[in-house]
Structure 1
Amino acid sequence: MAADSIAAGVELRHLRSFLMVSQELNITRAAARLHLAQQAVSVQIQQLERALGAPLLVRTSRGVSLTPAGAELAVGARSVVGELDSLAARLRARAERPEPARPLRLACCPYATAPFALEAAAAMEEAIPGLAIDLITVPTLAEELALLRSDEADAAFLWLPAAPGTLRQARVRAYQRAVAVRRGHRLADRASVCLADLAEEALVVPDSFECAEARGPWSVPRAAPAEDWGKVEGWGKVEDCLLAVARGRGVWLAPEPLSRWAPAAPGVSWLPVRDAAPSHLALTWSSRAPEPLLTRLVAELRRFTGWTKAA
């Protein structure tokens, strides 16, 4: 008889019944342990014998005994049934064990938002059971936006406004602003300045903005027409902006955390700007990001920072 024909005729219930009979050597007792009728067990044994083409049991006055083929089947069937039971147990355990969540990929800029991201990630992982956050640093806003749009990051910390309506954003913290000036600059010895003090200064402005609105918070309001402004320089990275300031190319208006977290470029002084509107840091994400998790994350971040709409 061909092997595939044998396999087609043998069912797991046949093997279980046969194994119980081989242990009890009595069909009546085996049926009772299987919670089956004696006739049902007898029929299953007969079906198994037909499928295998060999007698498995010999009837005796006290019950049954195994034929040589039956004895060999008992050894093999125990192995087969045991492996299947073990496999079923592993599958059930695997189904009951939740799939570990993929870490949330959070982009940030070194010096500009990374120190806050480091503190926030630790607080969020503690607040939300099972949450893991991977921090990804890139040096410019343009690269952060590219990570979000290519789905290489789930969310990012960005200074607002950052992009023209293509991403979802939620403010999580407000900061005062500061200005970086060259050592020896006419304002360098002040304890603080106001926007009017900077009105005639050339500005160093990062150059990776996607819209005019995003440039505003890094600039100083001007009363004179644009062509009468001081020279405006475009720079990509934090380090470039600081070096430009140190070389006397202009002053740099930035969120106050940069005055504490940016590398100490030689020849640069930071001054608080008393009357500048606050800079808002936002958690930003694309429509492909896990929305329920991001919503929960925003709530926890605001609790962590003490953010309110009035901030």
Structure 2
Amino acid sequence: MRDIDLRHLRSFLVVAQKRSITRAGAVLHLTQQAVSTHVRQLERSLDVGLLVRTSRGVLLTAAGEELAAGGANVVDDVDRLAARVRAVADAQTGTLRLACCPAATTLFAIDVADTMEKTVPGLRVTLNGARNPRQELELLTDGHADAAFMWLPVRDVGLHTAVVRTDPRAVALSARHPLAGRSGLTLADLADAPVLRPDVLTSPEAERFWLMDPRPDGGPAPRGPVVPQVEDCLLEVGRGRGVWFAPQPLDTLMPAGNVRWIQVTDAEPFDLAVVWTDRAPQSLITRLIAEVRSVVGDGRHVHAA
């Protein structure tokens, strides 16, 4: 048996999933001939037949079924190993990769990155933008980022967190809402207001926290429509489809003429945290936490998620 080429294995796994060389080619952005060549070379390397080609697609042989069952784990293991190797190399060459949502970090991320590079000789800080918390978490767990700035709670995936700022909770509501003229609101004032839910959070626990569910009286939070992104919340709020709870700093970063931001005086605040993985260079993370706190204010605690 000759050595297996990972490119060939990846192509085979997509063929096995799609049961079609043509559809696999579309997914892989390869020609049908290229995918067929990869599979044939993989069959020669293993000295077994993996596919039976039919007029309606392909069928897997028993050997093909076995390879499909175990091959995905092999590819995933190699990808994770490559991410760990890159992280070690980055640490040795002085690179710190940070994931951040512009809405959460515009006020400080650039200043922190610039300060880190000025105060740590030879360090290069990269800022990798993510559209939402779920994408930030993917960058961390896939090994494409060493740390991220995220509001807690974050899904429990073995990450470490250090709180760097605590933000009051505010509610965004339509300028036409009967409560829009108030200077402050309580959860009781908003007891019947459906709460919009952006489909970007990292866990059911995180969604309950953003909804303030349950409410102080033990009742459930009224759930409003699910929207694709955070920005969509303000559009729906402006149209009177519901309200949205968020950290108060977002009122300056996400203004809208037909939306009012009002502090909720009895609601639990949001904790903004530095979140990092075991692969991150610890000395740089410690320095990062200190620099963020010097820019945005003191945090309260450090723990492993």
TM-score bracket, normalised by the shorter chain, equals 0.5 to 0.7
SS in 1 for 2:128: strand
SS in 1 for 2:189: helix
Does the 8 Å CA contact 2:108/2:296 hold for their aligned counterparts? no
Does the 8 Å CA contact 2:173/2:259 hold for their aligned counterparts? yes
Taking the aligned partners of 1:125 and 1:179, their CA distance within structure 2 comes to 37
**Could you state the TM-score of these two structures normalised by the residue count of structure 2?**
0.63
* 1:169 matched residue in structure 2: 161
Is it true that 1:150 corresponds to 2:110 in the alignment? no
Unaligned runs of 5+ in 1: 1-98
Taking the aligned partners of 1:230 and 1:174, their CA distance within structure 2 comes to 25
Q: How does 1:98-247 map to 2 (within 5 A)?
A: 101-220=93-212, 221-222=214-215, 223=217, 225-226=219-220, 229-247=221-239
SS in 1 for 2:127: strand
Q: One-letter code of the match for 2:150?
A: L
Runs of 4 or more consecutive aligned structure 1 residues displaced over 6 Å after TM superposition: none
Q: What is the CA distance between 1:308 and its match in structure 2? A: 4.3
Taking the aligned partners of 2:209 and 2:119, their CA distance within structure 1 comes to 32
Which of these two proteins has the greater Rg computed from alpha carbons?
1
Q: What is the CA distance between 1:165 and its match in structure 2? A: 4.0
Does the 8 Å CA contact 2:137/2:202 hold for their aligned counterparts? no
SS in 1 for 2:108: helix
**Could you state the TM-score of these two structures normalised by the residue count of structure 1?**
0.61
Q: What is the CA distance between 1:102 and its match in structure 2? A: 4.2
Q: Which has the higher contact order (CA 8 A, sep 6+)?
A: 2
SS in 2 for 1:282: strand
Q: How does 1:1-311 map to 2 (within 5 A)?
A: 101-220=93-212, 221-222=214-215, 223=217, 225-226=219-220, 229-262=221-254, 264-309=255-300
Does the 8 Å CA contact 2:94/2:122 hold for their aligned counterparts? no
Taking the aligned partners of 1:114 and 1:145, their CA distance within structure 2 comes to 18
Unaligned runs of 5+ in 2: 1-90
Q: How many residues align?
A: 209
Taking the aligned partners of 1:108 and 1:246, their CA distance within structure 2 comes to 26
Taking the aligned partners of 1:194 and 1:131, their CA distance within structure 2 comes to 46
Residues 129 and 195 of structure 1, relative CA distance in 2, 3 Å threshold:
farther
Residues 126 and 275 of structure 1, relative CA distance in 2, 3 Å threshold:
farther
Does the 8 Å CA contact 1:127/1:300 hold for their aligned counterparts? no
Taking the aligned partners of 1:100 and 1:151, their CA distance within structure 2 comes to 16
Q: What is the CA distance between 1:254 and its match in structure 2? A: 0.2
Percent same amino acid among aligned pairs? 44
Does the 8 Å CA contact 1:179/1:254 hold for their aligned counterparts? yes
Taking the aligned partners of 1:236 and 1:109, their CA distance within structure 2 comes to 15
